[in-house]
Amino acid sequence: MSDTQANKNTIPIVVGVTGHRDIRKEDIPALENAVSGELQKIQRKHPNSPVWMLNSLAAGADQLCARVAFSLQIPLYCPLPMPEEEYRKDFSAEESEEYQALRNKAADVFVVPYSGPEGEERDNLYRQTGIYVAAHSHVLLALWNGEPGSEHGCGTAEAVDFMLKGDYQNGKMFRPSNEGAVIHIATPRVSKTQEFPVTVNLLENEAGSLKEVLAQTDRFNRDVRKESFQDVEPLLAPEYIHHAVSNRLQKVYDAADQLSMKWQKHYLKIMGVLAAFSVMLVMFYLLYDEAELNICLIGYGGAIVLYALFYQ
């Protein structure tokens, strides 16, 4: 299978971004190094998996992370809280120019579908986008000063809460108890009198859960890259197959389905061999019990060793 074809069947590791708009200029080099180091670590540890970034391209931390992502050839998918012409009213001229330059290189730019009863006020739309990024990411990269958010807030602290707790005003995101991971990059703000170094810390609901989820994703992608998959009956109706997202979901489903059938056969073969070993052990025991042949003990011990090696 070609690498391009394999990429269509793989599950990307999605890194969401949230961060302060008012980062200090003197911290930018350290922040870029920290972001680059964390992204490269994910790429290095998961060589079979494409890495994508969810990034709204807001001024400050978002745009910094976008620049780093492009330097590492990580594609950007940009969920916006509102239509672009309205969104850009929140940018200065310089920030708007930077937004446009980054937006032009993004893989996709889209407005987050409105789904909340809180109202379509500006803060609520930003809040909804934070929920969207948290809900659709394996891990959230947070350039954050560590201060807690407010109940109805729409900033970085609230996005971190969404990721770790799944809580928001009108309900709760579906999230397994071991999910929720944030790479916290300590980030001072211009609007606060703060002095602390740029440090990196992993926040998890369950220690080691992110490592395990990403490792499982990479193992799946490794198996996908080794296989050639047959065309199968589409899961979705024909009118949906040509949509980019639906088409990718279909291909991942096809790969998972065919891999599951392959490993089911593999598993049944293993169970068959282990059953044969079990019969062999019983036979050696019965022969020794009836004929008292010492060689049966040797055969019994040898069968146990072979059984253990094959099981491993």
Nearest by Cα to 304 from 263, 271, 274, 265 = 274
- The owner of tokens 């050639």 is 228
Q: What is the pTM of this model?
A: 0.80
**Ramachandran quadrant class, 119 (left: phi over 0; alpha: psi -120 to 50; beta: rest):** left
Place of tokens 């954050």: 144
Return the structure tokens found at 306: 């072979």
Spatial contact of 35 and 64, defined as CB atoms under 8 Å apart: yes
Domains identified in the chain and CATH numbers? 3-223 (3.40.50.450), 244-311 (no CATH)
- Taking the chain (312 residues) in runs of 10, the rounded mean pLDDT of each run is 59 96 95 98 96 96 98 96 94 95 95 71 88 92 90 82 72 62 95 89 92 93 82 68 70 82 85 82 75 73 79 76
Report which DSSP code applies to 77.
E
CA distance 199 to 205: 20
CB 162 within 8 A of CB 173: yes
Is residue 251 classed as helix, strand or coil in its secondary structure? helix
What amino acid is encoded at 223 in this protein? D
Q: How many C-alpha atoms does 103 have within 13 Å on its Cβ side?
A: 17
- Nearest alpha carbon to residue 211 among 138, 279, 284: 138
Residue 2 has what pLDDT?
Answer: 43
Residue with tokens 């003990």: 297
